[in-house]
Amino acid sequence: MHKVRTGADDVHATAYAGRWVDRPVPKFAIPAQGMDAEAAYCLVHDELNLDGNPALNLASFVTPWMEPAAQKLAAETLGKNMIDQDEYPQTEAIHERVVTMVGRLFHAPHEAEPVGTATIGSSEAIMLAMLAHRQSWRDRRAAAGLPADRPNLVIGADVHTCWEKFTRYFDVEPRVVPMTEGAYTLSAADVAANVDENTIAVGALLCTTFTGQIDELAEIDALLQGLRADRGWHVPLHVDAASGGFLAPFTRPDLAWDFRLPSVRSINVSNHKFGLVYPGMGTIIFRDRSDLPSELVFHINYLGGDMPNYSLNFSRPSNSVILQYFNFLRLGRAGYARIAQAMVDNAQALTEGLLATGAFEALHDRETFPVVVVRATDPEAHDVYALSDRLRERGWIVPAYSLPPNAEHVAVLRMVVKESFSRDMVDLLLDDVRRALAGTAVARASAPPKHARVQPVC
């Protein structure tokens, strides 16, 4: 959210010494007159140089680079609105193929009728899944003549902020299981202690945002199956595979985390993470059509034809779906497997280099995900916030943050090793870490409160 600065009269002073722009350009009011396209381009382009360098950004999971053919397709499809299914039927056909390919990657069962849709990212996908599960829970309660006024959602403190956002925006009680030092994931015992007949779903993670680990998915699945058999509670398990959904199928193909687990009724993934497409693309898949109550799907006819729609927003660019299709064709399963393994190997090299300094211990799952999360072995000697600042001076964006309650005294550094981060880059980063370590005993003047709850960038 930004303040609307109604009185602001800041200007871009005359730029390019009058070559293209010969008058000050207001920054907070639409200029009275326009300017040459090249001039506007330069003004905006040059200002954006102040942003961080995406190639050195280890904070974000989101794809910073696609190859030129993909960029060409993106430019060609920017002007097509995904929602106009009747006008752009082939885009819609590709949307269907992409959803199907993702569903099959997650072992959507033959014997059911899996359904899904592309979204703007995992946050929208999770909201859509939870709205569906809340509605199904209400319908079941109504059919049984039971009250449906106190829905709750069981999640771990390891979840991304979008989960708590859902509970607050859509009036569902969040049952957030706190972390403790050394236990940063959601266990079946945690779920058992919190679940009841008013639980609309359990949300569990394939790759946790804070520490790059896996919740106890198989055990939670077994617990929920047991509750169904013993008590008649129908509690769906939703797997948040935002980051892990395009990794585990390739790095751990035998790990049953997806629809192979019977309680898993829905899965989200951020295609703009390890689906390797630019930002603006996620997917939600439901195990069966019955998991998405039909009253939530809108049938729109005013763009021509019947367009079933389940989304939070309406218009959206179609290029991210097109780019995902491009990547599926371009890379194939073998390409994804190769890239996933290269990223995990590079992350492993980074982890080993960090551990070799003696300054860190690792928290992440080293086999499955290229997400490196370390804490200082001696936080008095090595302040991760100061280290993060020192690395920033060299251009590296490596966030330091404290873990959620009750592990807020644990401060970590997280480095997401993406496809664009080569082994050479790993070595360069390690050189800078080693150099910076020498100076980190001095706490920085502007250090945030050590136990502040800082949500890492998605």
Ligand X SMILES: Cc1ncc(COP(=O)(O)O)c(C=O)c1O
Bridge partners, residue 174, by sequence? 153
Q: x-or-dash pattern for ligand X, window 135-174, by CB under 6 A?
A: -------------------------x-x------------
Q: How far apart are CA 34 and CA 29, in angstroms?
A: 12
368 makes contact with ligand X (CB under 6 A): no
**Which residue, 20 or 170, is less far from ligand X as judged by CB?**
170
Starting at the edge strand found earlier in the chain, the sheet holding 115-119 runs 115-119, 282-286, 264-270, 237-240, 199-205, 152-156, 173-177
User: What's the 3-state SS for 17-61?
Assistant: HHCCCCCCEECCCCCCCCCCHHHHHHHHHHHHCCCCCHHHECCCC
- Interface with ligand X (CB under 6 A), residue from 103, 114, 121, 236: 121
Q: x-or-dash pattern for ligand X, window 5-44, by CB under 6 A?
A: ----------------------------------------
* Total residues binding ligand X (CB under 6 A): 14
**Which residue, 280 or 353, is less far from ligand X as judged by CB?**
280
Q: Which of residues 61-90 bind ligand X (CB under 6 A)?
A: 61
CB of 161 vs ligand X, minimal distance in Å: 8
* AA letter at 335: G
**Which residue, 162 or 354, is less far from ligand X as judged by CB?**
162
CB of 74 vs ligand X, minimal distance in Å: 18
The region of 38-46, 235-243, 339-347, 444-452 touching ligand X under the rule CB under 6 A is: 235-243
- Interface with ligand X (CB under 6 A), residue from 209, 311, 346, 402: 209
123 makes contact with ligand X (CB under 6 A): yes
**Which residue, 244 or 353, is less far from ligand X as judged by CB?**
244
- Interface with ligand X (CB under 6 A), residue from 21, 153, 205, 417: 205
- What the block records as the tokens of 275 is 């689906």
Q: Which of residues 251-290 bind ligand X (CB under 6 A)?
A: 270, 282
For residue 9, give the DSSP letter: -
Work out the angle between the directed axes of helices 384-393 and 423-437 (0-180°, nearest 10).
Answer: 120
- Local structure of 245: helix, strand or coil: coil
- Residue 59: name the closest of 450, 442, 391, 406 by CA: 391
The region of 80-88, 115-123, 187-195, 383-391 touching ligand X under the rule CB under 6 A is: 115-123
Largest Cα–Cα separation, the chain: 78
- Residue 238: name the closest of 111, 127, 312 by CA: 127
Peptide bond preceding 53 in cis form (omega within 30 of 0):
no
List of residues contacting ligand X (CB under 6 A): 61, 121-123, 160, 162, 205, 209, 240, 242-243, 270, 282, 458
